[in-house]
Structure 1
Amino acid sequence: MFDIFGFYKFKKLTSLKKNKILLQDYLIKKNIRGTIVIASEGVNATISGKTSDVKLTITKIKKILDFKKFDSENISKSKFQPFHKPKVKIKKEVVPMGYSLSLKNKKDNHVDPKKWNKLINDKETLVLDSRKPFEYKVGTFKKSVNPDVDNFREFPKYLEKLNKKKPIAMFCTGGIRCEKASVFLEKKGFKNVYQLKGGILNYLKNIKNEDSLWKGECFVFDNRISVKHGLVTGTYSMCSGCRKPVSLKDKKSKKYEEGVSCSNCRDNLTEIQKGRFRMRQKQINLAKKSGSKHIFQKEFK
């Protein structure tokens, strides 16, 4: 069993190149996998490993980056290692919106999962899913709307068009995208902006299925692909052709071919691409029969 720990922290960071090396070396030392993104505005990450190693790594991250607690964190379990390898990346922003963020003097607009249902049930509330369209299709909250933008840098243009007088309840996977977007809205004069504390993952972990207003599953950026209530691994898999999530229903489509395509990409792939993907899938199947693992399986389990 593996612990999966997701977190973010907005804090001015320096010595990014030095810290990248320190973090990368420690992840390797403790056999921790996942991705850590650091920028001058803070850190965002999801890592996975054995419980004791994850705990030690959390302590080490705080020491290296010089802070005592995360702005948000969530933990779940997986029967398999959901990441292929450890990665530490330096970015201009942990969430690319075209400006750096500081949470200093920010209004506390976080709503606990147990109070979230009442907020979004109010007919006056705009329930805003701030994730990408393909994530929205996997699952979302009742009556939510999605900006339908694939690049988060385009999100501010959408936000500026919203009604400043209308209550806005924002949510995303772990909370970091909403954290940055809510600060943007505050600066633009919006007064009634709320965000789901800990994101969808925190909601699915703490709210029982029978009390939930969540419909579907939640896409996650690791090899679990999606999770359900209780953060158990979901039913989605990943299309090898377009790298988009595929449901059990999608697999019944004539355009779905394991390891090759789905209805989303079948008509856009060339015959050369399909042939290459079929060859790769053939190698995977042969590896399965021999009891070994093909490199593609290891990376995209």
Structure 2
Amino acid sequence: MQLYNTLSAKERAELLENAGEERLTLSFYQYAKIGNTTIFRNHLFIAWDQMEVLGRIYVASEGINAQLSVPATRFNEFKEFLDGISFLKDVRLNIAIEHDLKSFLKLKVKIRNKIVADGLNDDTFDVTNKGVHVAAEDFNQLLEDPDTILVDMRNHYESEIGHFKGAITPDVDTFRDSLDIIEEDLKDHKEDKKLVMYCTGGIRCEKASAYYKHKGFKQVYQLEGGIIEYARQVENKGLENKFIGKNFVFDHRRGERITNDVIANCHQCGAPCDTHVNCENEACHLLFIQCESCASKMQNTCSDECLEIIQLPQEEQKRLRQGIPNSNKIFKKGRSEKLKFKK
């Protein structure tokens, strides 16, 4: 029974390029009680491997969170498979506006303690007691209400390249950091204001909306399907688009353009730019914003130090990395002291 990838990322990329077949990039999530996560994980991997599905999927006792690339010709087969699982029948699929053959290069189905790390240890917290879901049109109407407080539930590096007009964008590194900060900042408005939240595809807002209801907020709403579905509904229904810039996505594209506005800056020279890259130095791999000019000058690295390292032979680079854990800069995502124009 095969429960692992037989091809490397490079081999898969070459195979996809040669095949030239259309693939759909999509995501979905569902909170549900899963008894045996190992059996469920294995069931998914075996079925999706046969369908040539690629992606990153997290399974926990509280549900599933999936970002996937599916062959367009097998989409109906994939959908029928999901509908055959009771708690995934008719689950909302957030299909990307832009598709990329190489958005994912491996199939990874991993078991986690939670599908969204929240740092909460509260037995009385019920994640299924969620806020009101609103579609794009109702969401736009809520934003016109002076009693609405709009909060971005994403991290700083996501909102930096794109967000809704007038939104509160917490300067946080992780979802768990934002929960207590937002509650403290808005504690005086639990009764009189409408708390409206959004995120990439809805999964973080789903948990946050239940959390804030648990904390006493009376009017809690979330954008159904997140920014991904909002952009689709705006286009299909001809609605006013209140989002500006790019939507950060968690695949090889790293961003999906919603409007032509560029609201961020290159972290190295300060020029207008909203393209996220990972430092070419494998021992660093820092996520940061880099313009084409700096990419050429710095050879896709974040610093002079990393630029020097990538000039070394591969074996020497491997030797330098040996026994050294991943750099903490990986998790700073644009906050490294090496970057002159970091947020």
Give the structure-1-normalised TM-score. 0.78
| Aligned equivalent of 1:214 | 243
CA distance in 2, matches of 1:146, 1:171: 11
CA distance in 2, matches of 1:66, 1:203: 26
| Aligned equivalent of 2:226 | 199
CA contact (8 A) 2:130 2:206 kept: no
Gaps of 5+ in 2: 1-21, 260-272, 315-343
| Aligned equivalent of 1:151 | 174
| Aligned equivalent of 1:113 | 136
CA contact (8 A) 2:276 2:288 kept: yes
For residues 141-183 of structure 1, the C-alpha deviation after alignment (integer angstroms, 9 at most, x for no partner) is 0011122221222222113211313221100000010000000
| Aligned equivalent of 1:229 | 258
SS in 1 for 2:78: helix
**Displacement, 1:205?**
1.2
CA contact (8 A) 2:25 2:69 kept: yes
Q: Does 1:274 align with 2:307?
A: yes
**Displacement, 1:220?**
0.3
CA contact (8 A) 2:24 2:70 kept: yes
| Aligned equivalent of 2:270 | none
| Count of matched residue positions in the alignment of Structure 1 and Structure 2 | 266
| Aligned equivalent of 2:289 | 246
CA contact (8 A) 1:9 1:70 kept: no
Q: Does 1:186 align with 2:207?
A: no
Q: Which moved more, 1:167-176 or 1:23-32?
A: 23-32
**Displacement, 1:210?**
7.7
Equivalent residues in 2 for 1:134-149, closer than 5 Å: 134-149=157-172
Report the identity percentage. 30
Amino acid corresponding to residue 69 of structure 1 in structure 2: K
Equivalent residues in 2 for 1:1-301, closer than 5 Å: 1-63=22-84, 65-69=85-89, 72-76=92-96, 77-97=98-118, 98-99=120-121, 102=126, 104=128, 106=129, 109-161=132-184, 162=186, 163-164=189-190, 165-208=192-235, 211-229=240-258, 236-240=275-279, 242-246=285-289, 250-252=291-293, 257-261=298-302, 266=303, 271=305, 273-278=306-311
CA contact (8 A) 1:220 1:227 kept: yes
For residues 115-152 of structure 1, the C-alpha deviation after alignment (integer angstroms, 9 at most, x for no partner) is 21221233332110000100010100001112222122
Gaps of 5+ in 1: 282-301
C-alpha RMSD of the superposition: 2.8
For residues 27-66 of structure 1, the C-alpha deviation after alignment (integer angstroms, 9 at most, x for no partner) is 2222111111110010010111212323323433454x54
CA distance in 2, matches of 1:254, 1:240: 10
SS in 2 for 1:27: helix
Distance 1:113 1:36, change over 3 A: same
CA distance in 1, matches of 2:214, 2:90: 23
Distance 1:146 1:94, change over 3 A: same
**Displacement, 1:252?**
4.2
Distance 1:192 1:210, change over 3 A: closer
SS in 1 for 2:93: strand
Give the structure-2-normalised TM-score. 0.69
